[in-house]
Structure 1
């Protein structure tokens, strides 16, 4: 039987974002139909953003979106050939800057989940405190193929 953590690593590697702009390192917990908890050690992505005093708010939101994509795939199946996830809307409130020495944790929960679109509740935590929370919507779309 395949180790679930190996499958999670493969899923994360299949996200369209590449390091240093992939803001999910691991899936810490997944409960089918309930939630996904993912995380990243911020030191691992600090290099290109070294001059910034804290992890950018936009990157926190991107990490939540990437976590939501992983949740949707676990719930509805992996992306098919030529299929890409897109962010439809984002309503977030950030309450605290996140320091570079922190581990950022993302918790995403399905609000409404269909085969090709989803509405997700999202919360980011650092040092045990909520640093951002809100909702986002995602869709899976088929890209155009060459000659098609």
Structure 2
């Protein structure tokens, strides 16, 4: 017979080996697996905030040395504003300006704004002109009375 002669004895016939383990300081068996301390349950993550839409359109950039900024139009109020790199508007921070694009960041999220294409610009201009044109029948315009 080769090796240790105890290898041939099954552990099932040695109940004292399990009841009084020699490597346990108390010589008591470990608690059953179900009785082990379970990991504390983590609270559920907070509900994620709805995505915040970038309220700006890029209409111009000035990039040079220490002074770079973007010129934007607020999509809702139609107000024009200028932001230097590092300034923010409604939580959106201007991160960088390069050529015809500006990168805006909101927390970990970022979006790149580009100048509108010629077709998009033409639609925006015609819509603005139509909105600012005097209405027929208006009492304050002598041409239409």
Determine which structure has more spread, i.e. the larger CA radius of gyration.
2
- Give the TM bin, normalised by the shorter chain: under 0.3
Greater RCO (Cα-Cα under 8 Å, separation 6 or more):
1
TM-score under structure 2 normalisation? Answer: 0.23
More strand by share: 1
